């Protein structure tokens, strides 16, 4: 079943129920009004602070978008790119693209002009829908993307080089165009996070989207009464596919535009959120704010909050133990996946398996897993190998890249993830590290994630990234980039003393105190760190010498 049918069903069954809420706390701060003050008055001091749409409105907006695209000759096989921050228009536009039969192509809102151009050309995009934050970036390339025939601007004061989405859709029918869709029609192109170079264009069929929705709801049991708090960017599979579980049952979702701890906790309280998906830094920030007394839990209504789950990166067990001390009634889950497997859920811990915190879990609903060696033969339990996945959520291919597709996708449907993992005797999978991030020092394999997890146990460390730096004697050495907690003091000597419990070969040989950069989905941007600290240039020099 194409996932667009779920939207139409929700609109028919729950027409006037709230589907989506958008909250922008920054609007209040711009007007020198706090969220708490806002909640005590009847009229809004900032009209754009909070807005909402019903399921009926959601479906009608999607239909208008679909019909607009059809008037422009967009059909099956065409691609429509979306470059928007999270907002109420985002999901209706996405579903409108699907209803037209075209493929949706969400773009990272951090992309530069050249990166936007690269992705538009790689995806063969025919239309670009963009918002006010990107006027300058799109204007800089609009004359050099000839294939993109239509530029649709979402917002007020449309720039001269684009057309007004708001005005055009107002003339379009709000009835479904009834374009026939099948499970195996191509639905979307998602881009890899680009942590190892230029992003790849990942093609998914409609059945992948539906599979993601079913998997998420099976794992977390969302009902119509649940409210999902969505904070991560919708262009990425993580946020959207977790929301799909609520979407499947007609539950409300809240799009929070901001990641400050107080904003997150107040959104949960004010909107009666029951399910919240966080990234590791956000969970860490919430706990730190509580410890500092900046968030006083007794001032909020949080009894309805029942599930906190985390994904997109390895989760330090120490963080979850700390979370459970503060929120002992919360169910907890962690989810593993990648854009090539339509996001989270291919492996999940399961709320019933909290005693196995630290593992990414077991095969998700409708998924198969195996761990293999370099020849793709399964390894014994306890041995480290590459994690492979199989299920209805596996991508069709990398668009216009047969070589890369063949490297990760086997003829019998196994997706080789590039993640190194091991399986315990009781069947739980533990993520070890990225295959390309493994550091080989003096002939020993070093897995940065293991060192990072250990260092995060230090009370003064807020975040850490471990990368390999070239070394004439050992080949590579481990360097730890450490972000110290606000107000804390930490020295290199103290870090080295703390690492004495690690095996000698695992101890970082270099300590760097600096910010740890993360992308919008929470992944550490290690290519940036390697470039910043000279690893890439030194590796290139060594290769030239060889």
CATH (domain of 115): 3.40.50.12780
Q: Residue 498's domain is classified under what CATH number?
A: 3.30.300.30
- pTM listed for this prediction: 0.84
**Confidence band for 46, pLDDT divided at 50, 70 and 90:** very low
Do the strands 343-348 and 362-363 form a parallel or antiparallel pair, or are they unpaired? antiparallel
> At what angle are helices 317-326 and 280-291 packed, to 10 degrees?
40
pLDDT tens readout for residues 51-93? 999 999 999 999 999 999 999 999 999 999 999 999 999 999 9
Alpha carbons 404 and 192: distance in angstroms, whole number:
12
Specify if 79 maps to a domain.
yes
Specify if 229 maps to a domain.
yes
Last residue of a domain, one of 299, 318, 348: 299
Which distant-in-sequence residues (6+ apart) come within 8 Å of 45 by Cβ? 28, 31, 33, 38
Higher pLDDT, residue 523 or 468: 468
Q: What DSSP assignment string belongs to 300-311?
A: S--TT--EEEEE
**Confidence band for 40, pLDDT divided at 50, 70 and 90:** low
Do the strands 444-446 and 343-348 form a parallel or antiparallel pair, or are they unpaired? unpaired
Which tokens belong to 232? 């991560």
Which distant-in-sequence residues (6+ apart) come within 8 Å of 255 by Cβ? 20, 21, 22, 23, 86, 87, 88, 90, 230, 234
Higher pLDDT, residue 496 or 279: 496
Specify if 470 maps to a domain.
yes
- Say yes or no to pLDDT of 542 above 60: no
Strand blocks (E) in 354-442: 362-363, 367-372, 385-391, 397-398, 415-423, 429-434, 439-441
For residue 344, the Cα-to-chain-centroid distance in whole angstroms is 9
Specify if 313 maps to a domain.
no
The average pLDDT across 288-301 equals: 94
The average pLDDT across 187-199 equals: 74
For residue 450, the Cα-to-chain-centroid distance in whole angstroms is 22
Alpha carbons 521 and 278: distance in angstroms, whole number:
10
**DSSP type of residue 485:** P
Which tokens belong to 81? 């790119």
- Say yes or no to pLDDT of 545 above 50: no
pLDDT above 90 as % of the chain: 70
Higher pLDDT, residue 339 or 542: 339
Average confidence score pLDDT of the chain: 90
pLDDT of residue 41: 55
Specify if 121 maps to a domain.
yes
The average pLDDT across 172-179 equals: 97
pLDDT of residue 118: 93
- Say yes or no to pLDDT of 42 above 70: no
- Say yes or no to pLDDT of 193 above 80: no
Last residue of a domain, one of 299, 329, 353: 299
CA neighbours within 13 Å on the CB side: how many for 157?
3
Specify if 443 maps to a domain.
yes
Range of the domain at 531: 438-545
pLDDT of residue 535: 59
Q: Is the dihedral of CA 448, 454, 455, 457 positive or negative?
A: positive
> At what angle are helices 261-271 and 280-291 packed, to 10 degrees?
90
Specify if 495 maps to a domain.
yes
Higher pLDDT, residue 113 or 37: 113
The average pLDDT across 300-321 equals: 87
What's the total number of domains in the chain? 2
Specify if 138 maps to a domain.
yes
Last residue of a domain, one of 263, 278, 299: 299
pLDDT of residue 523: 75
Alpha carbons 123 and 116: distance in angstroms, whole number:
11
């Amino acid at each position: 079943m194409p996932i667009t049918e779920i939207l139409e069903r929700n609109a028919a069954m729950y027409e006037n129920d709230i589907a989506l809420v958008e909250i922008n706390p920054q609007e209040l701060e711009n007007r020198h009004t706090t969220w708490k003050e806002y909640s005590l008055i009847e009229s809004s001091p900032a009209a754009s602070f909070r807005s909402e749409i019903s399921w009926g409105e959601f479906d009608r907006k999607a239909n208008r978008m679909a019909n607009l695209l059809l008037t422009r000759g967009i059909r099956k096989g065409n691609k429509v790119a979306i470059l928007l921050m999270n907002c109420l228009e985002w999901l209706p536009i996405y579903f409108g693209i699907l209803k037209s039969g075209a493929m949706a192509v969400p773009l990272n809102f951090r992309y530069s002009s050249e990166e936007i151009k690269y992705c538009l050309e790689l995806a063969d995009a025919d239309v670009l829908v963009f918002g006010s934050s990107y006027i300058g970036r799109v204007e800089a390339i609009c004359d050099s993307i000839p294939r993109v025939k239509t530029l649709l601007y979402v917002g007020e004061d449309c720039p001269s080089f684009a057309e007004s989405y708001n005005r055009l859709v107002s003339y379009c029918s709000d009835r479904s165009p009834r374009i026939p869709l099948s499970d195996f029609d191509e639905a979307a192109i998602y881009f890899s996070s680009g942590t190892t170079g230029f992003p790849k264009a990942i093609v998914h069929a409609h059945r992948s989207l539906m599979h993601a929705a079913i998997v998420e709801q099976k794992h977390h049991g969302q009902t119509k009464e649940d409210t999902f708090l969505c904070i991560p960017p919708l262009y990425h599979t993580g946020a959207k596919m977790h929301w799909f579980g609520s979407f499947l049952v007609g539950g409300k979702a809240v799009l929070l535009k901001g990641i400050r701890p107080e904003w997150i906790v107040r959104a949960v309280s004010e909107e009666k959120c029951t399910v919240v998906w966080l990234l590791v830094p956000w969970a860490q920030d919430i706990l730190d704010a509580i410890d500092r007394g900046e968030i006083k839990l007794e001032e909020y209504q949080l009894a309805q909050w029942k599930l906190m789950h985390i994904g997109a990166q390895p989760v330090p067990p120490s963080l979850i133990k700390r979370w459970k001390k503060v929120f002992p009634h919360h169910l907890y889950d962690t989810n593993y996946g990648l854009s090539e497997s339509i996001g989270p859920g291919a492996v999940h811990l399961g709320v019933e398996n909290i005693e196995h915190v630290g593992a990414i879990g077991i095969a998700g609903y409708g998924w198969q897993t195996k761990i293999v060696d370099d020849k793709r033969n399964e390894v014994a339990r306890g041995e480290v190998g590459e994690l492979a996945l199989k299920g209805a959520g596996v991508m069709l291919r990398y668009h216009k890249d047969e070589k890369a597709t063949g490297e990760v996708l086997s003829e019998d449907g196994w997706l080789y993830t590039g993640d190194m993992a091991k399986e315990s005797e009781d069947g739980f999978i533990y993520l070890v590290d990225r295959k390309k991030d493994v550091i080989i020092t003096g002939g020993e394999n070093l897995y940065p994630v293991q060192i990072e997890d250990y260092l995060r146990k230090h009370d003064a460390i807020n975040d850490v990234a471990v990368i390999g730096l070239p070394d004439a004697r050992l080949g590579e050495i481990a360097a730890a980039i450490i972000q110290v907690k606000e107000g804390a003091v930490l020295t290199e000597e103290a870090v080295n003393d703390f690492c004495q419990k690690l095996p000698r070969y695992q101890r970082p040989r270099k300590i760097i105190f600096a910010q740890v950069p993360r992308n919008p989905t929470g992944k550490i941007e290690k290519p940036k760190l390697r470039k910043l600290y000279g690893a890439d240039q030194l590796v290139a020099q060594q290769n030239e010498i060889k």
